[in-house]
Amino acid sequence: MATTTNTKARTYISWLTISFMMVAAVASIRSLPAMAVYGLGSIMLFLIPAVLFFIPVALVASELGTGWNGGIYGWVKQAYGDRLGFFAIWFLWIEVVVWYPSVLGFAASTLAYMFNPKLANNGLFTCIVIIVFYWASTFLAMRGMDTLAKFTKWFMLLGTALPALALVILGIIWLVMGNPSAAPLSWSALIPSVFHEHAHVITSHRLHESSLQVFIGSVAGLVLIVSNFLAFAGIEMNAIHARDLKNPEREMPKAIFLACIMIILIFIPPTIAISLVVPADSTSLTAGVIQAYAAFFDAFHITWITPIMGALLIIGALGGVLSWTAGPSKGLLFVGKSGMFPLALQKVNKNGVQSNILILQAILVTLLSTIYIFVDNVSDAFWMISAMAALMYLTIYIFMFMSAMKLRKTQPHVKRGFVLKGLHFWCFLGLASTIVAIFFGFIPPSQFSDMPLFEYIGILVAGLIVTGAPPFIFYAIRKPSWIVTPKSEYEQYSAPLQDLQDDGDTTTPPAAPPATSAPASTTK
């Protein structure tokens, strides 16, 4: 029998396509209220993490993603072995679990504002809404990825792109009509007043002066930059597609640069629009966006539109949750089948969905959502969850930068689709920025209420230890009976791409665990 040869020409994608994919993975308006309190000063607070964090992550991940299979799991495993590779994918999964209550807290506050704004500060209401929304998304995820994809596409378009555009247009109309701005619109306002005590625009108490408290007060405003690091996270999920460019060396930097510009434009103009109509001392971290819509529409005497925009914001939040409900957990299942997880956590339903892992993460989200009940201020609870998620994700990026430098030294023979010039410079820049962001992540922001500093730090440290310990425990007690995937297949999850597919071969390499994406925002 004659054999046939696959002569189909390789298909490339344009750098514009990759750029738009990066924007879709990162951009969101959920975290904008935290920056809106600084008005024009928010521009600098967005540009700092864009230059010091976003660009290094995108460039370094482009080299790693075009060299090895498996995303963050594969990169860390190749550099540091099975144990830390398992930790990386676990920490990514649990970080997304921690993130869910924050994005759904945003949805709950928006829902409250549509009917009874006082409920936006009701922890029990917020907790109940989170539980109902998340379990609904879990049952939907049980039906398979095809169902999720249909919902997610439209949810993200209607709930993120359209509301962001509406905010910008409303802000322009507001200024053109000669309405006053709630935030200063002067050149001096471009420098955020984060070092001054009066920058604590939302604080409800004054601390007794001490050397420690003076220091904390002087940097508390800078803590909000940490949330912007998380807002820019997730770009690495599309890094592997650099391999599909015709000329990655020239086109990938252009794609990253354009994506950075577009993401900044999605972040900054809507943030300034919020600051035009919502005074800094009344901006809610969870309901700030809908507050802005309500102020605009009240002034324009079209208040009936406010509930419609609120519904779109909720749709956007749900779209973000839907897009992440199954993805990271599926990556965890891949690795679990190599012998890292007990058989009970490897169970899949008739649709091939990791049902027990989805139920486990729904239970964890339910437990985490009770923080809104036990912490008096809803905004405080929202920030604590967001800070925890940011610290976890930043930890993962430390492993990514370190893996890139080690693999350049230990596996120089591996062909990268994109070779980053000055790799060590970009890695050190990213590492330094990440470490500084982690430091600030342990300091409560100026918006935080009167929880003692060391209690706040203790809760975050305890959270990191509790969430980071399980993979090391599972690894220590693993059994041969837990191994479901053959070793040859398991090794492909982190193998160099050159070993999986030659340049002239048009076949598709084995699927890698979908574990490189980030929840930054409603798209993550």
CATH number at residue 418: 1.20.1740.10
- Torsion-angle region of 454 (φ positive above 0: left; ψ -120 to 50: alpha; else: beta): alpha
CA distance linking residue 27 with residue 263, whole number of Å: 6
pLDDT of 8 reads 52
Within a domain: residue 513? no
Domain annotation covers residue 343: yes
Which amino acid appears at position 297 of this protein? F
> How many Å apart are CA 63 and CA 36, to the nearest integer?
35
* 68: DSSP letter: B
In a domain, 516, yes or no: no
Decide if 11 is inside a domain.
no
Domain, as residue range, for 418: 18-500
- Give buried/exposed letters for 46-63 (b at 16+ CB in 10 A, else e): bbbbbebbbbbbbbbbbb
Chain centroid to CA 185: 30
Domain count for the chain, please give it. 1
What is the tens place of the pLDDT at every residue in 304-315? 988 898 888 888
Residues of the chain with pLDDT under 70: 1-10, 24-25, 145-153, 156, 192-227, 237-243, 285-286, 323, 326-327, 445-450, 500-524
Please tell me the distance from the alpha carbon of residue 73 to that of residue 490, in angstroms, as a whole number.
12
482-491: long-range contacts at Cβ-Cβ below 8 A with a sequence spacing of 24 or more?
A: 482/336, 482/339, 482/340, 482/341, 482/342, 482/343, 482/346, 483/337, 483/338, 483/339, 484/337, 484/338, 484/339, 484/343, 484/346, 485/334, 485/337, 485/338, 487/338, 490/337, 490/338
The per-residue pLDDT for range 53-98, each reduced to its tens digit, is: 888 998 898 899 888 888 888 899 999 999 999 999 999 899 889 9
Within a domain: 392: yes
User: 344 lies in a domain?
Assistant: yes
What is the pLDDT at residue 517? 44
What is residue 202's predicted lDDT score, i.e. its pLDDT? 37
